[in-house]
Amino acid sequence: MEFKIIGNTQSINQRNDTLILDTAEAQVQVSIYSPTIIRVNVTRQPDKPVSSFAVIREALPDLSYEENLHELIINTSALQLRIQKDPLRMAFYTADGKLLSQDDERFAISWQDTKVMNHRKVHPDEKFIGLGEKTGNLNRRGSAYVNWNTDAVNYQTESDPLYQTFPFFIGIHSGLTYGLFLDNTHKTYFDFAASTDDQFMWLGADAGNLDYYFFGAQTVAGIIEDYTWLTGRMEMPPLWSLGYQQCRWSYMSADEVLEVAQGFRDRQIPADVIYCDIDYMQDYKIFTWNKEAFARPKEFIDKLKDINFELVTIVDPGIKIEKGYQQYDEGVEQGYFATYPNGENYTGEVWPGRCHFPDFFREDVREWWGASFCALTDPGVAGFWNDMNEPSAWNQNVPWIVKFGDKFMPEVRNAYGMQMARATYHGTRKLLGNQRPFVLTRAAYSGTQRYSAVWTGDNTASDAQLLLGQRLVNSLGLTGMANVGVDIGGFSGNPTPELMVRWNSLGTYTPMFRNHAIKGSDMREPWQYGEGNEALIKQAIEQRYRLLPYLYATFYQATQTGIPVSRTLAIDYAHNENIYSVAYQNQFLFGDALLVAPVISTVQTADVYLPTGNWYRLSTEQMYNGGQSYTVDAPLHDLPVFVKAGAIIPMQSVVQSTAEKGDGILQLHIWNSDQATSCVYYEDDGNTYDYEQGTYYKRLITFDPIAREIKLSAVEGSFESRYEVVKVILHAFDVEIANKEADNVKAEFVVKY
């Protein structure tokens, strides 16, 4: 095996926006994307064009640098990159000279044959967070990870890799923060000082470039904002997808689906979405309906819509080899499938039996795939669940010789699922006209937030996985994926009634709230656990519906800034040691206002850590001083949820589905504080793209305890709110307020107290 470390700088050139340093081993290309983002692309094939699935921005046109005897120095208003020339070593500083991150002086950038590595110095107090869907602790120091999208059925609390690849982490030390995104779709590696703690951390790839973006914003939120500026942000999800979602592998017939949906209405348990898993298809052929069990899809979906349910159906990438099956015939004829090097179509076995796999890396294939969804959209399907797209095939990895266009499987495997989601999103968006499609994918790569929500695959019905699931959700939020769900209840196994209740109570505070279960498991609908438990699950779902105005506005934030819906405390309290402790690492902020402490089902109390500031228990209104930990009651009917002092939480009365009008009252819950606060309230029709043309309703709400007033700014946008009245509800104030109800006028209005 040949080993090389990058050596002396032999030449320095500039091409437009890029500084180019050549060494005997490689070429280093440096460009600036924004004052807080610098790209370093280290390549041994400088003439090979580079493209990215993740990045949607271009470098700034200008770059200037200074040179002295030993160094090249690039300054932006926020960052300084100092490049030592001999041997070539890089170090990033803040503009005022504080060291953020640098190469390990000894090993820096190196190669073993095609493998490329970057060893970097670690600071004594440094913590690492990120990488998206990864098991283990919030602080990833001491752990090592591989990115290789995998059908990780029955994964455990330490399993790696899982389904998704986000080669992006954030380092936190000395009161400083930085981020690093390695844009490489080969198998990649991240070792956070796992071998010997104080030696180094390293990242690497099986092949390809060491092409990374360095982020220097000095808050975790700022780094997420920059990362999602670079790789894109989610768009507004359909409002119905934020309601409760009921799924199962599988409801076996249209009648059964209708019966379950009606079961929610009969019991007055709110719900919006029901799913068809693979058994709705004929012989697992994608874009078909089972001729007997789902004989008249349009009639069936119309009936669902009559009772305010939307239907989501699953699609897998594998196209069954069967002459006369439309997608097979078209795919073969047009050459749309992945191939072996001799041009034959690759064959893998999945649910339908022997299959070919669309080459989603090609635009014509994506268009064809996207257009095929008419078989689902025509009868009225509104959501599209992309499964098995790691890609997964029985008993084997997809062989290395499989080709997608001119690329072999190992080069692009980690982006396959993302490209399937991309094709699904664009195709269904086109077919649905002005309606927002809901897309859900199991495999993903950085940037997938532009197309799809994700869920965390085949988890297990256990308390440990309830907690793990929350960490996965929180970690995915750090890497741009704001719309995330886990299989509530656990996919494999059967939850105890207590676990089912507890997990649903956490589902209230999960961006996507979906129950799902494996074939053969006990039925999981909320009424399967006895009357008492049904009431508790119903209560959790009702709370979700009360919070929808708040949740929708929180999703709006994610579309504008990339800040996730479920936020590890490391976003707002990065430099507070306590939040990384194993006891508190699962806690998170759900939006700006609510702190949630996940609790397992076998205990009735919880140790929670409340960061600086004042907090109120949502259920009791009891006040807690932050900056310390508490042992609090956590019975099954009352998950510990705390409201931040000064919070402004828009809520509504319970409705049975998001299609219901409700009582027309927007409740503005304000929690007392001695500091002024504000929030942006956002609303639109919840279903179309009219908001892009200004048909939305947005206003700034401010709470000022000194002036003793709550002010709603004039409304921005042309949407008529679905609420006729705004009602202000004060919590922990010792006064009554004068005019607490106002017609939802669009002009500014002020409530004095």
Enzyme catalytic residues: 387, 390, 458
Structure tokens at 199: 């030696």
CB of 163 to ligand MIG, least distance (A): 8
The yes or no reply on residue 314 touching ligand MIG (CB under 6 A) is yes
Binding mask 703-722 for ligand MIG (x = CB under 6 A): --------------------
For residue 123, give every residue at least 6 positions away whose Cβ sits within 8 Å of its Cβ, in sequence order, or none. Answer: 173, 174
> What is the side-by-side strand order in the sheet with 648-651?
648-651, 665-671, 725-731, 741-743
Q: How far apart are CA 669 and CA 730, in angstroms?
A: 6
| Residue of 388, 383, 384, 385 whose CA lies nearest to 398 | 388
Instruction: Report angle CA 641, 643, 647 to the nearest 5 degrees.
Output: 150
Binding mask 368-387 for ligand MIG (x = CB under 6 A): -------------------x
The footprint of ligand MIG on residues 424-443 (CB under 6 A) is 442
CB of 362 to ligand MIG, least distance (A): 25
CB of 465 to ligand MIG, least distance (A): 14
Write down the H helix ranges in 147-246.
Answer: 220-231
In the bound state with ligand MIG, the residue whose beta carbon lies nearer, of 285 and 699, is 285
The footprint of ligand MIG on residues 666-695 (CB under 6 A) is none
CB of 644 to ligand MIG, least distance (A): 35
Q: Using the rule CB under 6 A, which residue among 249, 280, 697, 703 binds ligand MIG?
A: 249
Q: How far apart are CA 270 and CA 244, in angstroms?
A: 7
Q: How far apart are CA 456 and CA 459, in angstroms?
A: 7
The yes or no reply on residue 457 touching ligand MIG (CB under 6 A) is yes
For residue 198, give every residue at least 6 positions away whose Cβ sits within 8 Å of its Cβ, in sequence order, or none. Answer: 122, 124
CB of 278 to ligand MIG, least distance (A): 4
Contact 436, 236 (CB under 8 A): yes
CB of 36 to ligand MIG, least distance (A): 37
Q: How far apart are CA 423 and CA 426, in angstroms?
A: 5
The yes or no reply on residue 191 touching ligand MIG (CB under 6 A) is no
Amino acid present at 152: A
Beta-bridge mates of residue 145: 190
What is the residue-wise DSSP string for 303-330?
A: HHHHTT-EEEEEE-SPEE--TT-HHHHH
- Residue 549 has what DSSP assignment? H
Instruction: Report angle CA 39, 44, 46 to the nearest 5 degrees.
Output: 70
In the bound state with ligand MIG, the residue whose beta carbon lies nearer, of 388 and 420, is 388
In the block, tokens 């105005």 appear at 549
The footprint of ligand MIG on residues 507-546 (CB under 6 A) is 516
Q: How far apart are CA 83 and CA 279, in angstroms?
A: 58
Contact 580, 605 (CB under 8 A): no
Q: How far apart are CA 491 and CA 459, in angstroms?
A: 5
Three-state SS at 752? strand
In the bound state with ligand MIG, the residue whose beta carbon lies nearer, of 229 and 385, is 385
Beta-bridge mates of residue 320: 355
Q: How far apart are CA 25 and CA 42, in angstroms?
A: 10
CB of 279 to ligand MIG, least distance (A): 9
Residue nearest to ligand MIG (CB): 249
Q: Using the rule CB under 6 A, which residue among 25, 133, 191, 458 binds ligand MIG?
A: 458
CB of 277 to ligand MIG, least distance (A): 5
Instruction: Report angle CA 270, 274, 275 to the nearest 5 degrees.
Output: 160
In the bound state with ligand MIG, the residue whose beta carbon lies nearer, of 312 and 314, is 314
The yes or no reply on residue 278 touching ligand MIG (CB under 6 A) is yes
In the bound state with ligand MIG, the residue whose beta carbon lies nearer, of 162 and 655, is 162
In the bound state with ligand MIG, the residue whose beta carbon lies nearer, of 24 and 153, is 153
Question: By rule CB under 6 A, what count of residues binds ligand MIG?
Answer: 10
In the bound state with ligand MIG, the residue whose beta carbon lies nearer, of 116 and 518, is 518
Binding mask 20-59 for ligand MIG (x = CB under 6 A): ----------------------------------------
For residue 723, give every residue at least 6 positions away whose Cβ sits within 8 Å of its Cβ, in sequence order, or none. Answer: 652, 664, 665, 666, 744
Report the helix count and the strand count for the chain, using DSSP H and E: 12, 51
End-to-end CA distance of the chain: give it in Å, rounded: 75
CB of 417 to ligand MIG, least distance (A): 12
The yes or no reply on residue 393 touching ligand MIG (CB under 6 A) is no
Instruction: Report angle CA 567, 572, 578 to the nearest 5 degrees.
Output: 95
| Residue of 578, 548, 543 whose CA lies nearest to 565 | 548
CB of 585 to ligand MIG, least distance (A): 26
In the bound state with ligand MIG, the residue whose beta carbon lies nearer, of 314 and 453, is 314
In the bound state with ligand MIG, the residue whose beta carbon lies nearer, of 24 and 523, is 523
Judged by the rule CB under 6 A, the positions of this chain that interact with ligand MIG are 249, 277-278, 314, 387-388, 442, 457-458, 516
